[in-house]
């Protein structure tokens, strides 16, 4: 009987070690502190370590689904679990599922060195207070930077699109210099801008007019109408992506084919779920 008990105990220890290796670990991180690029993941301290080493896992498992650890050995008899501290659920150690600490759920954080920004940033556009002069902006909203480092800015409260050249002291108006309004040569609270660098046209989310505009050499046309647009982007294949803030979705169009739209994100009503 003693031999059998010792054998089972050794097998259990080996299983426990295997489980710990497969889990996403965190070191020198306080209990429940963030340990992943996923903000829903935190560090659960293991019972068997004396330092702050732990398992990086999903912070909100159902407490009733977690079994207590073996009180005498601080270990777990269930496969694919590890014994951790989880005082939010229970004052005694609990067996935490390894499936909730895999890298696909809790990707490791990028090296902290790569996350630090230099503190000596420089102003590349505006910086002279809000206003309508060419060296000023008024609630700049969306931006686009081309290959030559020119910056295109949706200057929302000035109802215009401004281009600032690299190291320029002031910008130049390239769309919307005819006051605010709903004429085809006017803009009304533009919030997004991108550039089709194939034909050198400017594409604008003209939000208050509920339309997406194209400007080419001061000639304008409406690409997409009746849309509560906010942000937009364009990929290298000529597809335009526009966010619709009223329908809580992002839609895609092929340039020149604006009757054939595809929902590429959202489209399931307002909410905080991942779909």
Share above pLDDT 70 across residues of the chain, in percent, rounded to a whole number: 87
State the pTM of this model: 0.57
CA distance 11 to 202: 67
Q: What is the mean pLDDT of the chain?
A: 83
Confidence of residue 21 (pLDDT cuts 50, 70, 90): very low
Domains in the chain, start-ordered, CATH in brackets? Answer: 2-115 (no CATH), 140-266 (2.120.10.30)
CA distance 192 to 154: 6
pLDDT tens figures, 175-198: 988 889 999 999 999 999 999 888
pLDDT score, position 117: 60
For 70, the 3-state DSSP assignment is strand
Q: Which of 163, 241, 255 is nearest to 205 (CA)?
A: 241
Sheet holding 229-234, edge to edge: 229-234, 239-244, 249-254, 257-266
CA distance 24 to 190: 45
pLDDT tens figures, 150-161: 999 999 999 999
Helix-, strand-, coil-residue percentages of the chain, each rounded to 5: 15, 40, 50
The two tokens of residue 27 are 């070191």
CA distance 72 to 238: 64
Average pLDDT over residues 82-92: 92
Residue 147 has pLDDT above 60, yes or no: yes
pLDDT score, position 2: 45
């Amino acid at each position: 009987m003693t031999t059998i008990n010792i054998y089972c105990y050794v097998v259990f220890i080996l299983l426990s070690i295997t489980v710990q290796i497969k889990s996403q670990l965190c070191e020198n991180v306080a209990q429940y502190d963030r340990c992943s690029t996923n903000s829903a993941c935190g560090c659960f301290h293991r019972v068997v370590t004396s330092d702050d080493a732990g398992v990086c896992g999903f912070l909100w498992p159902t407490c009733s689904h977690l079994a207590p650890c073996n009180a005498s050995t601080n270990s777990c008899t269930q496969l694919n679990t590890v014994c951790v501290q989880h005082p939010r659920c229970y004052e005694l150690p609990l067996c935490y599922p390894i499936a909730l600490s895999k890298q696909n759920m809790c990707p490791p954080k990028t090296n902290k060195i790569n996350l630090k920004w230099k503190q000596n940033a420089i102003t590349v556009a505006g910086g002279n207070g809000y206003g309508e002069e060419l060296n000023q902006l008024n609630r700049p909203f969306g931006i686009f930077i081309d290959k030559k480092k020119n910056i295109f800015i949706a200057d929302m409260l000035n109802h215009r699109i401004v281009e600032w050249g690299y190291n320029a002291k002031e910008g130049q108006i390239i769309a919307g210099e005819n006051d605010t309004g709903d004429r085809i040569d006017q803009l009304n609270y533009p919030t997004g801008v991108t550039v089709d660098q194939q034909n050198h046209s400017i594409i604008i989310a003209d939000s208050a007019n509920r339309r997406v505009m194209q400007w080419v050499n001061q000639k304008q046309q409406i690409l997409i109408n009746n849309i509560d647009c906010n942000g937009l982007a364009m990929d290298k294949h000529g597809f335009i992506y526009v966010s619709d803030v009223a329908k809580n979705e992002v839609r895609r169009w092929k340039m020149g084919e604006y009757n054939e739209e595809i929902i590429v994100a959202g489209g399931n009503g307002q909410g905080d779920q991942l779909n």
